[in-house]
Structure 1
Amino acid sequence: MSGAVRETWSPAPESDRMILKELRETVGACMQCGTCTASCPNWHAMDVTPRAMWRMIQFGMLDRILESRTFWMCSSCYLCTLRCPRGLKLTSAMAALKRLAGVANGPAARRNGSFYAAFMDDVEAHGRVQETSMMQRYFIRRRDPAAPLAFLPLGVRMLSKGKVHLPGRGMGGVLKPLFAKARELEGTP
């Protein structure tokens, strides 16, 4: 990397600057060993590996990070956090990136955030993902009438192979208190 590295994006509210500062402190001790990437069950679907992401945070390359889909792919399994030889709270760093992306509200954040929110809403409502209702929630959040058409061939293939579960009984609302407590602890609405 040539020249001086500068931070190209900064969220407006003071609380968000604090999140950014804490995020940089969280990954500041990363020694680039790659254990996080090797531990991640979703690394293959990420466009930037977790290890590279921590370095990008250290260098202040937040624009590139927030355009990435990497942190949206985090399933919060905590394997990276559990296996980090430095004991860094990497899963918390991924969650902070999701919050910052929501503040930035760029096109990638809207698209990826819509899917993430639809997924979590569906789990909260049904106790598991029910693909048809989750995708309905996603399409409504996207507000793009052409989006369902782009997914139609995939949906037909999945349905023909028995990979789509039609709406059923599920656990209907059993997880609502858990989600409410998580929102309370996170300070989110």
Structure 2
Amino acid sequence: MNQTQTKPWSPDSVTREVLAELRGELGACMQCGTCTASCPNGFAMDVTPRQMWRMVQFGMLDTILESKTFWMCSSCYMCTLRCPRGLKLTRAMGALKRLARERGTWKIRKNSAFYDAFMDNVEKYGRVQETSLMPGYFLKSRDPFLPLHYLPLGVRMMKAGKLHAPSSAQKGRLKELFAKVREMEDQS
């Protein structure tokens, strides 16, 4: 089976269990839209967070996983902090990311490439370093034409003085934190 082919996906018991848990957690969502209004990345999402929670409530897993919304979540916790019902919305976005990885289609791998590169970059440097983030993203995306798409943006950023060489001041400071999170995830 080559990389562009995917095996047929059917919801297994783990997927159904996670979806049922999400539906239970988000069942109290009253569709007020506070999460969407609070989201700093909402402008880039194809489905608003409020719409995403309604799709979870209705069990629309295929539609949810075709969306790029949960990949755009930066885990800033603004939605969770402002939710009048106290729902753990950032945690729900994380669960959707894990479900998407479990499904493992080409589109999901493509959508997760930036997220993976971003998290690797933060772990390595302690903050985002654009000059190393983008090459990492291009490698993870496995799309040889993707850098050409970003070339005009890179030129504009260089002209504006927004690209800087990676700093070693914070390098490695978050490695222990990331290792602890991985350890905790393995235990759960």
Question: What's the TM-score, normalizing by structure 1?
Answer: 0.88
AA in 1 matched with 2:26: V
The aligned counterpart of 2:165 is 166
Please tell me whether the aligned partners of residues 128 and 170 of structure 1 are also in contact (alpha carbons under 8 angstroms): no
Query: 1:77-92, aligned counterparts within 5 Å?
Result: 77-92=76-91
* Structure 2 SS opposite 1:137: helix
The aligned counterpart of 2:120 is 121
Give, in whole Å, the separation in 2 of the partners of 1:50 and 1:15: 23
Task: Give the alignment's Cα RMSD to 1 decimal.
Answer: 1.6
The aligned counterpart of 1:179 is 178
Give, in whole Å, the separation in 1 of the partners of 2:169 and 2:144: 28
Query: 1:66-77, aligned counterparts within 5 Å?
Result: 66-77=65-76
CA offset at residue 28 of structure 1?
Answer: 1.2
Please tell me whether the aligned partners of residues 11 and 103 of structure 1 are also in contact (alpha carbons under 8 angstroms): no
Give, in whole Å, the separation in 2 of the partners of 1:167 and 1:73: 24
CA offset at residue 96 of structure 1?
Answer: 0.4
* Structure 2 SS opposite 1:76: coil
CA offset at residue 36 of structure 1?
Answer: 1.1
Give the gaps of 5 or more residues in structure 1: 1-8
Give, in whole Å, the separation in 1 of the partners of 2:140 and 2:127: 19
Give the gaps of 5 or more residues in structure 2: 1-8
AA in 2 matched with 1:15: V
- Are 2:97 and 1:104 equivalent residues in the alignment? no
Query: 1:1-189, aligned counterparts within 5 Å?
Result: 10-12=10-12, 14-187=13-186
AA in 2 matched with 1:11: P
Give, in whole Å, the separation in 1 of the partners of 2:146 and 2:34: 37
* Structure 2 SS opposite 1:44: helix
Give, in whole Å, the separation in 1 of the partners of 2:44 and 2:143: 24
Deviation above 3 Å: which 4+ runs of structure 1? none
Give, in whole Å, the separation in 2 of the partners of 1:17 and 1:42: 28
AA in 1 matched with 2:32: C
* Structure 2 SS opposite 1:30: coil
AA in 1 matched with 2:181: A
Could you tell me the percent identity over the aligned residues? 66
Deviations 1:49-107 (A, max 9, x none): 11111001111111111111111111111121122121111110000011111112223
AA in 1 matched with 2:126: G
Give, in whole Å, the separation in 1 of the partners of 2:84 and 2:31: 11
Number of aligned pairs?
179
